[in-house]
Every structure is written in C-alpha cells, then in structure tokens.
Structure 1
Amino acid sequence: MITYPLLNDGAAIGVTASSYGVSPLDRKLFEQACERMKEKGYRVHCGETVFKQNKAKSASGKTRAEEFNSMMQDDAIDLIIPPWGGELLIEMLEYIDFSLVQEKWILGFSDISLLLLAITLQTGLATAHGPSLADLRGKQTDNTTAMWQKVMSTIRGGSIMQKSSAKYQQEGGVDVNSPFIFHLDEPTVWKSVTAGEVTLSGRLLGGCIDVIRHIIGTPFGNVQYFQQNMIHNEPILWYLENCELNTVDLRRSLVQMKLAGWFEHCSGIMFGRSGANRPVDSYTVEDCYKELSEELQLPVIYDVDFGHVPPQLTLINGAYAEVKVQNGAGRITQYFKD
C-alpha cells in the first residue's frame, strides 16, 4: 500500500541539507528561495546543517540523518525540501530511522533522489521527484516547474495530469533581466526508440541513475520487496536521468540494474534529458536506449521533462502513471491510488 501525503496551504517547510549545504557565496540565492516560499504562504524552518558546507557535504552522514529524523518526527513540519542536491547523500542512509517516517512530502532531485527512492522502497511513502528549493526562487515560475504544488496537493484517490513543456533550457545560466530562473530557449521533443505513438503505464520509481545505482544489493534497494508487498506485483514504470555519466558508464549501470532484477515486472522506461551522455568510440546514448529496449522487450522513451536539464515535471514515486507520447509531445497522468 502506498501512502500519499497532502500539501496544504500555509504548510511548514523543513529545510535540511541532506547532501550539499549552503556556502557563504550561495547564501543570498538560498535566501531568495526561502523568501519566495514565504510569499506563497509557506512557513520555512531551516535546520542547523543548512548553512554548513565543507568537503563535499554539509555535515557527517550521521548528523544529516539525525536532523532528517528529527524533522520527520516534528509535527510542526509538514514537508521536507533540501536546498539542492550534491554528492554524498548515501552516507546518511544507514543512520535514517525508517520506523520514524511520517506522512509528509519530501521533494527534490539529483542526489536527493537517492533519499526519495530509499524511503519509498522501505516504507511505501510516496515521495516527490521535482524541483529543488533553489529552483523555486524566481519571481515567476514556468508552467512545468510550477506544477509541483498542484501535484503534491492531489488527494488520495485523485489524479493529476502534466504535459510536456514547450521549451527547455539547453545550456548556460539565466537571463539576469528575466523574472524566471530558467531561460527556456529550445523546443521540447519527447522521443521514443520505436516510431509512432507510444503509451506506457505502471507504478513510478526512479531518480538520478548516477546515485540510485549504488543501493543495488543493499538493504535500501530491495525493489522486489517493494513490488511484492507495497504494490502487489503491479508493473513498475522506471524514470531515470543521467547527470554525469558517459554512454558506456550509463550502459554498465543499466546492465547492473537488469542483472539485479530491478527491471523484472517492468512496463517501460523513461529517460530524462541530459547534458551528459558523452559518446565513447561512437557508442551513442541512442544506441544504449535501443539495446536496452530490445533486450528487455520494453518501450523506451527519452528526452522527457525531468532531471538536470530544466524544466522538469514532478513525478511521484509509488503513484500509478499513464504516459502517452505522440509527435514529439507527451503527457503523464498520475493516479494516487493505494
């Protein structure tokens, strides 16, 4: 059974640095994000880890986990949003008390997606893969990114539909004269390994493949247990995005997932846009997607709106989703069912 939190007006956001903290150089940017949340009516509570950053982490894994555990137990905090991603969230997993996990949203992506996936697999709590707090600091928010509030406000038993973006940000920073965070300048095209209309459906699971692959074979990555006990053998629809891997490292990671049984009872795979995917000896990411599709005999779609190339949809681990891709456009409907 999947448990779905509910985002209410005036909710209290607990900010804890589960990976990177906020350095002095980034403090103004972070404070802008907090101010935007307050303008939307949310209350913001920052943990002690937030303004710490040294040697690729905000604090030790144990310290970060203790603060996360504390926020989970704190009835005054309604949802948890880390400032952004990072590199070493995996260090805190062994110190998380999963028995203390309560019905509250956790939102983020990149390194944070490892926390999201582990929580959902261990507890059946739905978690939200979407914008980081820093991505919400603009005076205005594009239509795709802005859906995070509507998605997380969906009631149990309800559904929410999101469409592919019109444009995405290919590279670079933001226009300082723009009220938006992202400079969306390239037409969005969702693609498929096979021609024609593609439809997929199943229970969503996924995240940044760079980091989630590292819990394969650990107690935190028991996909089979989740499938049998939480979703009663329904098919899994995987969504995966690549932050830094070249094409052969991506291929190795996908083969490892296959050998570990993560793709058993799978209905399809979605890949987000990526600024990585560097070819090796003419081996391209399209080659990788095609081989995976042929081996698993599953539909594969790619360049979907999630990951490190903005904007991105808000995808809920554990929710049932129906996806349709046709003529470069797509839509995804998520159903918050048990």
Structure 2
Amino acid sequence: MIIYPILEEGATIGVTAPSSGVKAELHDLLKLSCSRIQTKGFNVICGDTAWTQEKAKSSPAKIRAKEFNAMMCDDKINMIIPPWGGELLIEILEDIDFENLKSKWILGYSDTSVLLMAITIKTGIATAHGTNLMDLRGEYSDHTTAMWQAVLSTKTGESILQHSSLKYQKEWDYTAPSPCVFHLTEPTYWKAVSNMDVKIKGRLLGGCIDVIRHLIGTQYGDVRHFQQQFIHNESILWYLENCELTTTDLRRSLVQMKLAGWFENCSGLMFGRSNANQPVDNYTVEDIYKELSEELQIPVIYDMDCGHVPPQMTLINGAYAEIEIENGKGSVMQFFNP
C-alpha cells in the first residue's frame, strides 16, 4: 500500500540540498524564498548544504545524505523542499537510510526526481513532483504552481483536482523581476497523439527522464517490485519530462525503459513541455510520441504542465490518477488511495 504524508498548518519545512546548493551571490534569493514560505504560516529550518555549491554539488555525497537522513528522522521537521535540482543527486542514494525514513512530503523536480522516485519505489511513501523552493520567492504564485499546498494537504482516502494552466512561460527573463516569478505569456495546449480527447487512469510515477533513466538496473529503479509490493499490480501512468536531451537521446532512453520492463502494465505516457527535444536528421519529438503510442498500444499525452517549462502541476508518485484532455485543456484528478 501507498503511505501518504500530510501537510498541516504551521508545519516546519526543512530546506536541504541533496543535489545542488545555492552559491553565495544568490543567497538573497534563498532567504527571500524562505521568508515567503514563512508568510504562509510555515516554519523553516535551513540545513548547511543549502548555502554551498562547488564542483556541481552542494557538498560531498556523504554530507548531503547525512543531512537529508537527519531531517527525515527529526520529528520537528514535517516536510522537505530542496532549493532546486542539479546534476549529481544519484551519488547520495547508497547512503540514504531508506529503512528508517519517516512519512514526510518531499517536494521538487529536475534532479530531485531521482530521490522522489527512489523513495516511492523502495518504501511505498508517496512523494511530490512539483515546484522547487526557489520558484516560491514571488509575492504570489500563479494558480497552477500554488496548488502544491492544497495537494499536499489532501488526506489519505480523499482526492484533489487540478486543471491545466491558462498560459506557460516560453523563456526566462531574469532582467525583469516581477511579483510572480514566472512570466506566463504563451497559451497552454495539451496534446495527444490521437488528436482526440483522451482519458487515462493509473498510478502515477515519473520525473525528469534525463536523470531517472540512470536508475534502470538498480535497486532504486525496480518498478516491478514497486508494482507487486505497493500498488497491487495496478497499471502505472508515467509522466516524464525532458530537460536537455536531443530527440535521438530521448528515444534511446525510452527504448531502454521499455527493454527494462518499465512500461509493462502501463496505461499511458504523459510528457511535459520542453525546450529541449532538438530534432536530429528531421527526427522530431512528435515522431517519438507516435512511435511509442503504436509500439505500446497506449495513449500518449504531451505538452502538459510538468517540468522545466513552467508552470507545473503537483503530481504525486504513487497516487491513483484520472487524466482527461478535451479540446486542448487537461485535468488531473488524484486519489490518495492506499
């Protein structure tokens, strides 16, 4: 069965950096992010790793793992949000104390999704793929991003509905800070390979494909065990997003997932918007989506609110979800079923 943490009013949020920390010149942004969280009524405890960054990581792997383990065992801390993702989170997995992790929400995306997926697969504790801390530094958040708080406050046995965003951010403009961190300018339009309205159901699992693909063949990516042990062999509804891969690298990664059995008993695939997906020899990402749908005989949805092109929904690894697309608009109903 899946174990769902709960976010309660006045909770204490731990900020640790299991991947990348924050360099000195950006400390003001981290402080601002923490203060914004505090204005929502939460307490904040920042670990040492959040404030350092060198050689593509916040600190050596064992130090990152030790601080994370300590926060997960500390009864005073109710939830963990890293500052952001990074590159080398996978280094800490062998030092995570999976057997003694307490039930707490961990929220993030990008490289953080390696940790989220590994925890849910190995322990059955639900994890939250969504905004990171640094994206919560605005005076307010857009409606899609702001749903993280409502989603994580949902109780076991209850459900919560999210709708696709009205607009998304095409590119970052750091020269024009605004009350809302994201500059949402482009109309959102969810798509399906069939070009028809789609309904899919299944247990959610996924993350940033650039990094979670490296869990294949390890104990941290044993999807069959997860299906058998925690979700009673229910079908998996995968959500994936591409940060930096070309179309051929994306295709190789997806084929490897298929060969590893990740797509067995799979009800559908969903892909987030991406600024990557560069075509190779006229081989486009739309070609990949069509091939996948035909090979696996399942629906494929793309350009959804997930990943590095904000805003993004809060998707719960392990939750049962019903996804609908109608006329380019999407909805995600998540059921916190054990």
Structures share fold, TM-score greater than 0.5: yes
Question: What is the aligned partner in structure 1 of residue 253 from structure 2?
Answer: 253
Aligned: 1:176 with 2:176: yes
Work out the CA distance in 1 between the residues paired with 2:229 and 2:20.
33
Equivalent AA in structure 1 for residue 41 of structure 2:
G
TM-superposed CA distance for 1:26, in Å, is 1.0
CA distances 1:176-214 after superposition (whole Å, capped 9, x unpaired): 362100000000000000022101010000000000000
SS of 2:50's equivalent in the other structure is: coil
Question: What is the aligned partner in structure 1 of residue 288 from structure 2?
Answer: 288
Equivalent AA in structure 2 for residue 96 of structure 1:
I
Question: What is the aligned partner in structure 2 of residue 135 from structure 1?
Answer: 135
Unpaired segments ≥5 residues, structure 1? none
CA distances 1:56-114 after superposition (whole Å, capped 9, x unpaired): 00111111111111001100000001000000000000100101111110000000000
Question: What is the aligned partner in structure 2 of residue 214 from structure 1?
Answer: 214
TM-score using structure 1 length: 0.99
Work out the CA distance in 2 between the residues paired with 1:25 and 1:287.
42
SS of 1:145's equivalent in the other structure is: helix
Contact map agreement 1:174 1:183 (CA 8 A) in 2:
no
TM-superposed CA distance for 1:173, in Å, is 1.9
Question: What is the aligned partner in structure 2 of residue 270 from structure 1?
Answer: 270
Question: What is the aligned partner in structure 2 of residue 46 from structure 1?
Answer: 46
TM-score using structure 2 length: 0.99
Question: What is the aligned partner in structure 2 of residue 89 from structure 1?
Answer: 89
1:189-338 aligned at under 5 Å gives the runs 189-338=189-338
Equivalent AA in structure 2 for residue 229 of structure 1:
Q
CA distances 1:219-268 after superposition (whole Å, capped 9, x unpaired): 11000000011001000000000000000000000000000000000000
Contact map agreement 1:169 1:182 (CA 8 A) in 2:
yes
Alignment CA distance shift 1:177-1:207 (3 Å): closer
Contact map agreement 1:202 1:320 (CA 8 A) in 2:
yes
1:138-177 aligned at under 5 Å gives the runs 138-173=138-173, 176=176
Work out the CA distance in 2 between the residues paired with 1:80 and 1:332.
24
SS of 2:334's equivalent in the other structure is: strand
TM-superposed CA distance for 1:174, in Å, is 5.1
Task: Give % identity.
Answer: 65
Question: What is the aligned partner in structure 2 of residue 33 from structure 1?
Answer: 33
Work out the CA distance in 1 between the residues paired with 2:172 and 2:229.
44
Equivalent AA in structure 2 for residue 287 of structure 1:
D
Work out the CA distance in 2 between the residues paired with 1:80 and 1:72.
8
Work out the CA distance in 2 between the residues paired with 1:257 and 1:234.
18
Equivalent AA in structure 1 for residue 252 of structure 2:
R
SS of 2:204's equivalent in the other structure is: strand
SS of 1:110's equivalent in the other structure is: coil
Work out the CA distance in 1 between the residues paired with 2:250 and 2:177.
37
CA distances 1:258-281 after superposition (whole Å, capped 9, x unpaired): 000000000000000001000000
Contact map agreement 1:109 1:130 (CA 8 A) in 2:
yes
Question: What is the aligned partner in structure 1 of residue 125 from structure 2?
Answer: 125
SS of 1:301's equivalent in the other structure is: strand
Work out the CA distance in 1 between the residues paired with 2:177 and 2:204.
37
Work out the CA distance in 2 between the residues paired with 1:137 and 1:178.
10
SS of 2:28's equivalent in the other structure is: helix
CA distances 1:4-25 after superposition (whole Å, capped 9, x unpaired): 0000011000111111111011
SS of 1:286's equivalent in the other structure is: helix
Equivalent AA in structure 2 for residue 249 of structure 1:
D
Work out the CA distance in 2 between the residues paired with 1:54 and 1:274.
27
Cα root mean square deviation, aligned: 0.8
Contact map agreement 1:174 1:182 (CA 8 A) in 2:
no
SS of 2:144's equivalent in the other structure is: coil
Question: What is the aligned partner in structure 1 of residue 112 from structure 2?
Answer: 112
Alignment CA distance shift 1:291-1:11 (3 Å): same
SS of 1:50's equivalent in the other structure is: helix
Alignment CA distance shift 1:175-1:334 (3 Å): farther
Contact map agreement 1:174 1:181 (CA 8 A) in 2:
no
